[in-house]
Amino acid sequence: MTVRGTRAGERRSARGGGSSRWLRLLAPDEVAQRVADINLAALRERGIEGIVVDVDNTLVPWGSCEMDSATEAWVQRAKQDFSVCLLSNSVRGRRVRRLAARLGVPGVSAWGVGRKPLAGGFLRALRTTHSTPEKAAMIGDQLLADVLGGNRCGMYTIWVKLISEHEFIGTRLARVIERRCARKLRASGLLRDGGALAGGGSPGHED
């Protein structure tokens, strides 16, 4: 099941500085328990043509190439109507290339000045999918990387529950900030998940 986060128009209409603007940049347009729950028909109706998907803890557990059958089937269905690209913060990108080859889609590895949430990796993925930001969706498990970066680029953003608590140490530290941001988003009415994802942090982190 997927539920709405905040309207993209509301987010992009934010003006000026301050905490309100930053909160809007962290607000996903949609929240889903897992990738396989995302409604592809609804994305088509929104005019989405390209789908960019994070790898670690979105498609597969961190550091793994093991993908569950429902997620893999979703990607194969998505390929029929969308241009799909994997995007991951990775130095060498070997595992990203293996997963991309297995799924039959392109993969982009971003690091340094191009790593998420900076724009470089997102722009490379958009060029790969031949999509404009307004017609592309970004799917990922991290507010501070996937959602923030996608929103800054003007993409439709979908926040999913992380697959596993096992993560890179830097990501675990970022989750502390993410939980606080999620609480502020809910308190501000910018994360309207209908109570389906209770808790103070990401869809996979409850206090």
DSSP state of 118: S
* Structural domain contains residue 129: yes
pTM: predicted TM-score of the whole model, two decimal places: 0.84
DSSP state of 154: T
* Structural domain contains residue 175: no
* Structural domain contains residue 59: yes
Burial degree of 154 (CB within 10 A; 0-12, 13-18, 19+) = middle
Distances (CA, A) of 188 to 5, 58, 164: 12, 26, 28
- Contact in structure between 117 and 148 (CB atoms under 8 Å): yes
* Structural domain contains residue 190: no
* Structural domain contains residue 177: no
Q: Is the pLDDT of residue 177 over 80?
A: yes
Q: Quickly count: other Cβ atoms within 10 Å of residue 12's Cβ.
A: 12
Distances (CA, A) of 146 to 45, 80, 101, 104, 160: 23, 24, 22, 22, 10
Q: What is the β-pairing status of strands 2-4 and 30-32?
A: antiparallel
pLDDT in tens, 39-96: 999 999 999 999 999 999 999 998 778 899 999 999 999 999 999 999 998 878 788 9
* Domain enclosing residue 156, as ranges: 36-168
* Structural domain contains residue 130: yes
- Contact in structure between 55 and 86 (CB atoms under 8 Å): yes
* Structural domain contains residue 151: yes
Q: Among candidates 170, 185, 179, which has minimal Cα distance to 207?
A: 179
Quote the CA–CA distance of 146 and 58 in Å, as a whole number: 10
Instruction: Report the domain count for the chain.
Output: 1
Quote the CA–CA distance of 143 and 174 in Å, as a whole number: 9
- Higher pLDDT: 81 or 13? It is 81
- The CATH number of residue 159's host domain is 3.40.50.1000
Quote the CA–CA distance of 136 and 1 in Å, as a whole number: 21
pLDDT in tens, 98-134: 999 999 999 999 888 778 999 999 999 999 999 999 9
Q: How confident is the model at residue 198, as a pLDDT?
A: 30
Percent of the chain with pLDDT over 70: 80
Q: Is the pLDDT of residue 33 over 60?
A: yes
* Structural domain contains residue 70: yes
Per DSSP, the three-state class of 191 is coil
